[in-house]
Amino acid sequence: MIKRFIPEGTWLGRTILLLGFIFLDFMITASSCKTPLAEANPYARFFMQRYGILEGLIFFNLLATLPIYAVLVFDSHLIKQTQHYRAKAEFAIDIALAWLVAGVRFDGAMSWLWNAPNLLRQATGFAIYLAIAIPLLHLFPRTLSDARFSALRRNKTKDAIHVEDQRILGNS
């Protein structure tokens, strides 16, 4: 049952990468924000004013991250239905997530540390996400577990061929 709430395949890597950007934003904001009025995001500021800086920030991040996580889990199970378009769809989704989630969160985190235009900070987060995601999820998507399973399948195939050869030679 809990297996349904964990993204599958490359979607798990995509989820961990996005959660890393969200966690970076959370940690830098939690450590740098001394008053809720310093927070630029009006929704985060509302929760920080209502519940306190750290508690409000935690509550805001949970509420903002749950829909993203739900979409990633849902997509990881649904993408199996679109095998023909899978590579193109996943790349388009990575572009959208890079700009809308990773870029925005990187911009929010770096706004405390780097005095640069918002668009530049967001574009930098976008580029960092894609620099990690493209090699990890598109160029070399096999994980250690996939490699181990394919090695096991390969060994089973060799064993089956060996048994078949032995049977043909009469050495069973």
Nearest-angstrom CA–CA distance, 97 and 59: 22
Question: Which one has a higher pLDDT value, 131 or 152?
Answer: 131
Residue 7: pLDDT above 80? yes
For residues 98 and 126, the answer to whether their CB atoms sit within 8 Å is yes
Q: Is the dihedral of CA 130, 136, 141, 143 positive or negative?
A: negative
pLDDT band of 166, cuts 50, 70, 90:
low
Give me the amino acid identity at 89.
A
Q: Are the C-beta atoms of 106 and 37 separated by less than 8 Å?
A: no
* pLDDT tier at 142, thresholds 50, 70, 90: low
Q: What is the pLDDT confidence band of residue 79, given thresholds at 50, 70 and 90? A: confident
Least confident of 67-76, 80-89, 142-151: 142-151
pLDDT grade for 43, boundaries at 50, 70 and 90: very high
Residue type, 171: N
CA atoms of 6 and 40, how far apart (whole Å): 32
pLDDT of residue 80: 74
pLDDT band at 20 (very low <50, low <70, confident <90, very high): very high
164 vs 15, residue with greater confidence: 15
118 CB contacts (<8 Å, ≥6 apart)? 107, 111
| Lookup result for tokens 């990633």 | 72
Q: What is the pLDDT of residue 39?
A: 93
Report the mean per-residue pLDDT for the chain. 83
155, pLDDT greater than 70: no
Indicate the pTM of the whole model.
0.75
Instruction: Please name the residue that has the structure tokens 């540390």.
Output: 113
